[in-house]
């Protein structure tokens, strides 16, 4: 619409009506300029409140209390505004990304026998909450390299009074070495932090540990559930020189995201098939059950 036409329309309005039009126009322009992450946070919180859940602001984070979940009951979690925490909470807790693994265990009649869970790439602990709410008697070992994510992981464990949870500040890797975190993978946000090797043993490096080392350190006879979302590190862990078949023989159920840009998908599938894993795919995650444990 041309400016002259707009002015002609405004001329037909009272002073009060003109003011309302002006304020409305300014607000619409401001809202259109709000960054996407603000809009995303607003929509996420609105959805939670509409569903009857509670949200409380705590400094730069929010404490969310979920009530009446049919599978998980009541639980709480902290979420950092304008971060990938929103997407992770949505996928893992609200949409239950790892429910297919629970269904696998149910079909195998092994729900009650889940005792040892390793949550590699634990991020801020949402998967740990999910697994502990489902497998309440299990011991869970969340592994997370990033200090910011790890700090929130500890808080989320505390908020839910989760027992037999033993967090590890490290990164799953093909062998023992020193690593540093990097934000060069995918979108570089909190859920995409990866690790790379370094020769520098300065403050800020973290330890790379193997699955076998996790089992030895905690005297695990097996791993009933191994969840791996480790931003490309699976390509190294499943390399031929790393001998992944050694730890896979001790894993019953597997949930893993395979990052295509690492170009290791075919090799990983072949290794899993050779290790007697029956695979399925749901929502971006590959799920496996070790036929040797049936």
Q: pLDDT category, 187, cuts 50, 70, 90?
A: confident
C-alpha 6/C-alpha 89 separation (Å) is 46
Q: pLDDT category, 82, cuts 50, 70, 90?
A: confident
Q: pLDDT category, 6, cuts 50, 70, 90?
A: low
Closest CA to 240 of 260, 279, 268: 268
Fold for domain 96-293? Rossmann fold (3.40.50)
Task: Name the DSSP letter for residue 165.
Answer: B
C-alpha 268/C-alpha 5 separation (Å) is 65
C-alpha of 184 from chain center: 18
pTM: 0.87
- Residue 183 is predicted with a pLDDT of 86
Task: Name the DSSP letter for residue 169.
Answer: -
- pLDDT at residue 245 tops 90: yes
Domain segments of the chain as ranges: 96-293
C-alpha 195/C-alpha 191 separation (Å) is 12
C-alpha 294/C-alpha 140 separation (Å) is 22
- Residue 5 is predicted with a pLDDT of 53
Q: Tell me what percent of the chain is helix, strand and coil, each rounded to the nearest 5.
A: 40, 25, 35
89-131 pLDDT per residue, tens: 999 999 999 999 999 999 888 888 999 999 999 999 999 999 9
197-237 pLDDT per residue, tens: 988 766 679 999 999 999 999 999 999 999 999 999 999 99
């Amino acid at each position: 619409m041309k400016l002259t036409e707009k002015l002609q329309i405004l001329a037909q309005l009272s002073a009060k009506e003109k003011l309302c039009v002006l304020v409305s126009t300014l607000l619409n322009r401001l809202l259109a300029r709000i960054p996407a992450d603000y809009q995303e946070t607003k929509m996420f919180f609105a959805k939670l409140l509409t569903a009857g859940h509670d949200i409380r602001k705590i400094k730069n984070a929010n404490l969310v209390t979920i009530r009446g979940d049919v599978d998980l009951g009541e639980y709480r979690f902290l979420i950092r505004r304008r971060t990938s925490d929103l997407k992770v909470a949505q996928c893992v807790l609200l949409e239950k990304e790892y429910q297919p693994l629970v269904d696998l265990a149910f079909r195998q009649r092994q729900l009650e026998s889940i005792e040892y869970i390793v949550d590699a790439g634990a991020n801020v602990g949402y998967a740990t909450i999910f697994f502990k709410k489902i497998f309440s008697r299990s011991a869970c070992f969340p592994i997370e390299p990033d200090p910011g994510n790890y700090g929130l992981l500890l808080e989320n464990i505390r908020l839910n009074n989760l027992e037999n949870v033993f967090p590890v500040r490290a990164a799953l890797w093909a062998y023992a070495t020193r690593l540093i975190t990097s934000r060069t993978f995918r979108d570089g946000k909190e859920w995409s932090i990866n690790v790379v090797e370094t020769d520098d043993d300065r403050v800020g490096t973290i330890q790379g540990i193997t699955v076998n080392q996790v089992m030895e350190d905690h005297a695990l006879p097996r791993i009933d559930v191994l969840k791996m979302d480790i931003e490309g590190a699976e390509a190294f862990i499943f390399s031929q020189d790393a001998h992944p078949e050694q730890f896979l023989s001790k894993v019953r159920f597997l949930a893993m995201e395979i990052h295509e840009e690492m170009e290791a998908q075919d090799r990983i599938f072949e290794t899993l098939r050779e290790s007697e894993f029956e695979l399925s795919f749901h929502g971006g995650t590959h799920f496996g059950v070790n036929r040797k444990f049936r």
